[in-house]
Amino acid sequence: MEIDYLIIGQGLAGSLLAWELIQRDKKVIIVDNNRLNASQVAAGLINPVTGMRFVKSTDVDTLLPSALDYYQNLSLYFKQAFYIEKPMLRLLRNDKEITACTKRFKDSQYKNYLAEIVPTSTGINASHGILKQNNTGYLLTSPLLEALKSYFISLNAYIKTELHYDEISLSPTLQWKNFKPKQIIFCEGHSATQNPWFSVLPFQLVKGEIITALSKHVIPQSILNYGHWFIPLDNHQFRTGASFDRDNINSNISDEVKTKLFESLQQVYPTLTVEQVIKHQAGIRPTTQDKMPFIGQHPHHPEFFIFNGFGAKGSLQIPWHCQNLADKLLNNQTIPQSSNINRYYSLFL
């Protein structure tokens, strides 16, 4: 069967790219092993200003409007809310952070994202005050991925199977099983480190664990950022995380990590009483050496593309980049050099 694109992986990157290409009337097949992926475990946080120096995320003024518009359109189509906008309260830890964010208040480029420093909220332990951030929120990634999976199935565009690279034939024509795509796009997350065509790229995998739990009492309806994060899902349910582990790259959860996450939360929110742990999950994020995505065409196999490496900022970055990649595939649009894998061309030699 001749198709336009075979997409490997139904995480957030593969799902949104497949959606975009289908909206442009392309014949797409998605292959996925149906195992838990990093997108399903991710918090889905969108936070335009991060780090100890309170720096705007790269291209956030372009990426954020695109992401919000994209998720709004998906919500309208599926009649289900996917993006939840909530203010973020960042707990300032020392005078150095106060000085750094005060400096940003004077910069007009930050006016849409940083609101003010406010006194400590009731029940929150923040001796140096709290920075209120705007244009923040979180994506409900699991419900979105489930909705898109059902959509793909309804179009006969989803295949649940484990793809083996040796099943892909390059000659006399590109083929996988009985499908003959024009191109194959790999959106495999951390599994790309095993991909024979793209494993040379400098991935830096990170294991992160998050916990979903119930509070006995009503919780504040703001996101808390204190090194870790606290996300209110409703009046009692919340999510907290994430751990950061470069040494143990696996999907196993750890009681030690759970204890540390709750201890960290207890320090900043001492009045919180956890009634029940609903879920404790671990995922492997496909972060990259230079913190920018891996997007583009294999230099020696033009039939192969990669769309990967978004790490913890996937919810913010993927919508704009999937539209840009679709423009590249259909109209030969230029992929930005900062994310184009040709910046690592020498690794493919």
Residue 5 has pLDDT above 90, yes or no: yes
Same domain, 212 and 270: yes
Instruction: Give buried/exposed letters for 227-252 (b at 16+ CB in 10 A, else e).
Output: ebbbbbbeeeebbbbbbebeeeeebe
CA gap 303, 273 in Å, rounded: 54
Mean pLDDT of the region 180-188? 98
pLDDT greater at residue 322 or residue 121: 322
Give residue-wise pLDDT tens across range 208-252: 999 999 999 999 899 999 999 999 999 999 999 999 999 999 999
6 and 32 assigned to the same domain: yes
**One domain for residues 232 and 257:** yes
User: Domain for residue 88, yes or no?
Assistant: no
Q: What is the pTM of this model?
A: 0.96
pLDDT attached to residue 52:
87
CATH number at residue 280: 3.30.9.10
**Closest to 139 (Cα-Cα) out of 19, 41, 244:** 41
Residues 170-198: what's their mean pLDDT?
Answer: 97
* Average pLDDT in the chain: 95
In a domain, 248, yes or no: yes
pLDDT of residue 179: 98
* Nearest residue to 141 (alpha-carbon basis) of 233, 259, 11: 11
- The string of pLDDT tens digits covering residues 122-145 is 789 998 999 999 999 999 999 999
The parent domain of residue 340 ranges over 2-42+142-201+290-348
| Mean pLDDT within 139-155 | 97
Q: Looking at residue 113, what DSSP letter applies?
A: T
38 pLDDT more than 80? no
Are residue 244 and residue 276 in the same domain, yes or no?
yes
Is 307 among the domain residues? yes
Do residues 230 and 223 touch, judged by C-beta distance below 8 A?
yes
Total domains in the fold of the chain = 2
Residue 239 lies in a domain: yes
- Residue 42: pLDDT band (50, 70, 90) is confident
Residue that finishes a domain, picked among 238, 256, 288: 288
Domain of residue 14, CATH code = 3.50.50.60
The widest CA-to-CA distance across the chain, in whole angstroms, is: 68
> Within a domain: residue 33?
yes
| Measured distance CA(213)–CA(279) in Å, rounded | 7
At 127 the pLDDT is: 85
| Integer Cα distance of 196 and 264 in angstroms | 41
- What pLDDT is stored for residue 123 in this prediction? 83
Q: Give residue-wise pLDDT tens across range 51-97.
A: 889 999 999 999 999 999 999 999 999 999 999 999 999 999 999 99
CA distance to 114, 129, 216, 226, per residue, from 94 (Å): 18, 9, 31, 12
Is 182 inside any structural domain? yes
User: Is 308 within a domain?
Assistant: yes
Residue 58 lies in a domain: no
Asked whether the predicted pLDDT for residue 34 surpasses 90, the reply is no
Whether 304 shows a pLDDT value over 80: the answer reads yes
Tokens 């009046």 -> residue = 235
Q: Which of 268, 288, 308 is the last residue of a domain?
A: 288
Q: What is the pLDDT of residue 45?
A: 96
Sign of CA dihedral 112, 316, 292, 49: positive
